Amino acid sequence: MNPLFNKIKTLEGLSTGQSFFKGNGREFQISSPVDGKSLGSVTACTKIEYDAIVNKALEAKLTWQNTTAPARGEIVRQYGQKLREHKNDLGELVSYEMGKSLQEGLGEVQEMIDICDFATGLSRQLYGLQMHSERPKHRMLEQWHPLGIVGIISAFNFPVAVWAWNTAIAWVCGNVCIWKPSEKTPFTAIACQYLFSEVLAENNLPEGISNLIMGDKEVGQMLAEDKRINLVSATGSVRMGKSVATTVAGRLGKSLLELGGNNAIIVTENADLQQAIPAIVFGAVGTCGQRCTSTRRLIIHKNIFEELKEQLVKAYSQLKIGNPLDTTNHVGPLIDKSAVDAYFNTIEEAQKQGGKVLCGNRQLKGENYTTDCYIEPTIIEASADMPILKTETFAPILYLIPYKTLDEAIRIQNNVPQGLSSAIFSLNLRETEQFLSVNGSDCGIANVNIGTSGAEIGGAFGGEKETGGGRESGSDAWKAYMRRQTCTINYGKELPLAQGIKFEI
């Protein structure tokens, strides 16, 4: 394994004092879906260990929130430089531990670098507003302060990038962070924490600015229940998100949720199919269909349905499936055997509901497939009324659905509980503008002539309905990590009251 992994494998117990990589709780054995080989084990933190980490964070908070925002930005800039230096090693580890292609693993680390750059600039742009007062010689303004401690629960499919979206912004806003990564991909998290601990040590800053806790949903529940955690940002399934949201709301805390996606692309008869096909295929099979923005449903105008269907089946036949560290392969494995079971169960249910499998539906065996996690991406011809279409399965299953009018296509797209990403392929201005209008896509992301996946960090990322309503990364998503304070300053000698109220004593 690469030098970065070899370094973190030598760490025992506490890393530089701030984070339990090996607690005294349940042990998790981690093996790669690529070849089945063991990466090692981690153990969950206990309640006592969890409280020790929170206390570390509380101590560090006082120093960090009183550090100027540009100075905090400089620390994040230095972390981005560390990531640049270790991009290849970390990208390879992401690919090997999670199973996505090496190109996607490197791209995920590049997302981390990009958000560090964005956050560094943001550290000088945490703007408030000034408003005119109705009272003479009064001034009104708003300012933003750190929340305190931000808890981050991340998922296996983007084991490092989504954490960075949250933590880079949270850091420059003056918060300290506690990260619970997926128990399926802990070693990439340890590597990220290790690199940031180097930055903290080099700048004589408290270790508790960034903290790592290991464990499953029980440890996540500790974060959700803890009144000392000012914001819980959770990425994962709808079921997990509902549990977190209910628990955090019960203590009147703040939560930021990025949950399931069930994303659709509408292809009109005015589409450029040569442009659409690569976007559809990557959206459906990238990360082996394990992105929250993966394309699940393809809604195709009836006049081009057969033509596009034929071209997609041909494109799928050319996919190379195998070891994701081999850059000639397009598709790697699913994360584990349970994901494979969900893949086959979903296809079986779709067939019961009238779906027709056009390609795929096969587990790959042989010397090139050293685990049971390699499957063929599948295309299913479907009808819009199939109940299975409303369910997200984290696997490369693409449903093809015909439509007659754009109004019908938009209704089909929106008729699911999730509302993350959406796209339309059309060269017709009226069609694309209708798709983007208030009567069009109901998703948090709406793209024209690009696919559903591959968001850039400059825009706010998130979705509506059961996707949770949260926004991360760019634009003004930073406001979720701060508290707003409205201030009124009276610089006159009189004390006039608002709304003309008279009160004399």
What is the rounded distance in angstroms from the CA atom of residue 439 to the CA atom of residue 410?
A: 9
Bridge partners of 445?
421
Catalytic residue, candidates 108, 258, 376, 466: 258
85 noted as active-site residue: no
Burial label, 352 (beta-carbon count in 10 A; 0-12, 13-18, 19+):
exposed
Pairing of strands 378-381, 231-235: unpaired
Burial label, 500 (beta-carbon count in 10 A; 0-12, 13-18, 19+):
exposed
Are 261 and 282 spatial neighbours (Cβ–Cβ below 8 Å)?
A: no
Helix H or strand E segment including 211: strand 210-212
What is the rounded distance in angstroms from the CA atom of residue 273 to the CA atom of residue 308?
A: 8
Q: What is residue 160's DSSP assignment?
A: T
What is the rounded distance in angstroms from the CA atom of residue 341 to the CA atom of residue 82?
A: 39
Bridge partners of 139?
132, 489
258 token code pair: 């990025």
CA proximity to 226, closest of 158, 269, 258, 178:
178
Phi, psi of 209 (to 5 degrees): -65, -35
Q: In what order do the strands lie in the sheet with 397-403?
A: 356-359, 378-381, 397-403, 295-301, 263-267, 421-425, 445-448
**Alpha carbon separation from 198 to 171, 206, 494 (Å, rounded):** 16, 11, 55
Catalytic sites, residue numbers: 258
